[in-house]
Chain A
């Protein structure tokens, strides 16, 4: 099974917190309220919720791919 990787762009983030509400195992917020990815490699049982988090993100700051993001 191919692992799914997730990354988040703090430049785009508007601190809506939908990602953290959907999947607190994967997403957190730093002191500035901006998204932080806790575990870039997503456990298979969390994949659906990570996809939901990406869908709900109002500023489209979350990217899902099949490998670790470049920087």
Chain B
């Protein structure tokens, strides 16, 4: 009982927490867990406590710190430890974030809506042409975020196959695969940035060259590091949330019917799905750079700290009927995008892609249903992005 339980654990249902998380939640809101390498780290499972610690000045993202908790073998790589923004603390983090905020604000993302609608309509056209059964992973969930971020950044779309494959391996491959793919991606972006500096295009990379490289704020290496993070972060998270969202709605037909009745309910439904699915099982991996007192515990300088989105999103202290999917709920607030200064830069882009995709898919293919039992869908991921490898549907 007093032993620190293992974390993360694998899900058996794509959208439900693993059975072992119940005990972890009951022992929360703050407890110690055991990582894959046998080390221990603090785990925060309460919603309020997560908000509190994620805004605590002693919480650090410095992945090169010897006490930084490693939650899966692939995060041992040098590239994973030095990611721009993600592995940075203020003041450098805040400077970089300000370079990017104008290009991911809610207002700028809303201007991208017509283009995202055109892209989604094109993918759904191909699904309809393909006919049932159709696998929505390669036909929609994977290529949509890839195409959207390629267009936004100004990355040539003909390179997106390489790109999709490499970023997938960085996030979800074995330790060797992840390191090799990260290096390939790095080399590719390195060349791309060099080209952009010579001849900036209209995309975000070209804009950053004009706004920040020409002015001397950042150089080639910094832009490579920013581009790498934007590409990696945009892919798996949105792709997985899209696939898991479709599965969850198809498995809750009464909830889907509420959306069909009134499509204005979609933005609220997207929030609820983000809460319920908790695609990013762990929403924060940090190290204490000074002592932190929280919920009667003392976290000492140098100790690792994790925040469980899966558990915080279903905290009965702040959510009514926390384990129930309810697309009409008012209390759909969640930590799937994190909280504090590191909260997801691309959150509004992700929301829009999900909203537009759900709307188009369920409107154009009204008879859509899963073509395999949900328990048989191959799933991957523990501790980072929860993913299904196939999503066969029929109609």
Contact = CB atoms under 8 A, between A and B. Distances in A.
A20 to B, nearest CB: 5
B395 to A, nearest CB: 33
Interface in A27-44: 28-29, 31-34
Contacts of A15: 101-102, 104-106
A20 B102 contact: no
A55 B333 contact: yes
Contacts of A33: 101-105, 107-108
A28 to B, nearest CB: 8
- Chain B's interface size range is 20 to 34
A4 interface: no
Contact of B107 (A29, A56, A59): A29
Contacts of A56: 333
B343 A58 contact: yes
B356 to A, nearest CB: 16
Given A16-B347, A32-B101, A33-B101, A59 B341 contact: yes
Interface in B78-102: 97-98, 101-102
A58 B52 CA distance: 11
A29 B106 CA distance: 8
Contact of A14 (B101, B103, B107, B108): B101
Nearest to B344: A16
Interface residues of A, number: 17
Given A16-B343, A32-B102, A55-B333, A60 B107 contact: no
B341 A58 contact: yes
Given A14-B97, A15-B101, A55-B333, A20 B340 contact: no
Contacts of B101: 14-15, 32-34
B348 interface: yes
B104 A14 contact: no
Interface in B39-79: 55
Given A17-B348, A33-B108, A55-B333, A60 B55 contact: yes
B105 A17 contact: yes
Interface string A1-35: 00000000000001111001100000011011110
A25 B227 CA distance: 34
Nearest to A12: B341
A62 B171 CA distance: 35
Interface of B: 55, 97-98, 101-109, 267, 333, 338-341, 343, 347-348
11 contacts: A15-B105, A15-B106, A16-B106, A17-B106, A17-B109, A20-B106, A31-B102, A33-B101, A33-B107, A58-B339, A58-B340
The 6 A-B residue pairs with the shortest CB-CB distance, nearest first, are A17-B106, A33-B105, A15-B101, A58-B343, A33-B101, A33-B102
